[in-house]
Amino acid sequence: MQLPIMMRDVKTAHNGGLIACPSPPYIGAEEHFEIYGCSGRSLLAGLLRRLGLCRSDVITILTTSDDQYISTCVSVTAFNFASISRCIESTTKVVLLIHEFGYVHPQLERLASELAAKNIVLIEDCAHVRGLTLPCGRSVGSFGDYALFSLPKVSPMSTGGLLRTKNKYILDGWEDDEFIRSQHNQVIPYWRSINLKRMERYELLRDMLGENRFIPPSQIFCPFFAYVSKHSLSLDAIQGVEFGSTLREDVVLIPINPLVELGVYRMLSHALLGARKI
């Protein structure tokens, strides 16, 4: 049994039963422009370079969970252009808001409004979530001045990043990657099916392991990982699962891969409960 994080690593699946259907509309920032590149990280670097930050400026990094863990793809990239902080300060010029592991920041609407009033640039990091609509009717990624998507994390693509902007411009020295754009256009019809399959696998785990074990950092999500309490789970005998990275000692992050068969999640649930070894 293998349970990888990335969809591309599901070797035995042709298309995982994905169903093509019309793509959900991008609501809230209908007037937007798209730039494609080899990765979300390279697009973030290009964007921060264009914003003309200096060392005395601060890039504030906020995450859904507010845990200590932050991906170095974000922190190191930001640190190359300005100081970084976990709090909004008087010298904050940019806020990088990470919808961590597919969980939407619970204060997204309020933060977007407050930052706009202070002329602070808001970048929504949507690396782990795509095509999700909030209860207010707007799409994740439509609140910020910019939205970043890491395409391999949420699709079967092997590489690629997407930067959505509200203003049309070209990053300095940047040429839009037409190959990535073409690959992404082929995947777009499957976004709804991908998200539905993520939720189906999450709900199966929750039903089998017990809802009381699940501690999601936000109630609005399409999970890339499930936050599950480690208490009384049998983890030592489990192999072949790429659990997520975290600095927390109380949770295990279980990958929610939409191309992995439901039967694998049933097996994993039994193993976690100590019913069998895998």
Q: Which pLDDT belongs to residue 278? A: 44
Domain presence at residue 237 = yes
Cα–Cα nearest to 11, from 265, 257, 269: 257
Question: Which residues on neighbouring strands pair with residue 253, listed in sequence order?
Answer: 227
pLDDT at 163: 94
Picking from 260, 217, 214, 18, the residue whose alpha carbon sits closest to that of residue 128 is: 217
Phi-psi domain of 249 (left: phi exceeds 0; alpha: psi -120 through 50; beta: other)? alpha
Same structural domain, 180 and 199: no
How far, CA to CA in Å, does 174 sit from each of 164, 266, 268?
A: 15, 46, 44
In a domain, 2, yes or no: no
Partnered with residue 62 across adjacent β-strands are: 97
| pLDDT at residue 276, rounded to an integer | 53
Please tell me whether residues 246 and 125 are part of one structural domain.
Answer: no
DSSP string, 167-179: S----TT----HH
In the predicted model, residues of the chain with pLDDT beneath 50 are: 277-278
User: How confident is the model at residue 15, as a pLDDT?
Assistant: 64
| Domain assignment present for 113 | yes
Residues 113 and 217 in one domain: no
From residue 84, how far is each of 69, 113, 232 by CA, in Å? Answer: 14, 22, 38
Predicted confidence at residue 24, as pLDDT, reads: 78
pLDDT of residue 176: 83
Residue 160 identity: G
Cα 47 from Cα 139, distance rounded (Å) = 21
The pairing of strands 58-63 and 92-98 is parallel
Domain range spanning residue 82? 7-190
Residue 199 lies in a domain: yes
The last residue of one of the domains, among 190, 222, 257, is 190
Q: How far apart are CA 36 and CA 43, in angstroms?
A: 8
Q: Distance of CA 238 to CAs 2, 150, 177, 213, Å?
A: 10, 29, 40, 18
In total, how many domains does the chain have?
Answer: 2
pTM metric for this prediction: 0.94
User: pLDDT value at position 10?
Assistant: 87
Do residues 179 and 188 make contact, with C-beta atoms less than 8 angstroms apart?
A: no
As a whole number of angstroms, the distance between CA 104 and CA 85 comes to 20
Do 196 and 186 belong together in one domain?
A: no
Contact 182, 159 (CB under 8 A): no
Residues 121, 204 share a domain: no
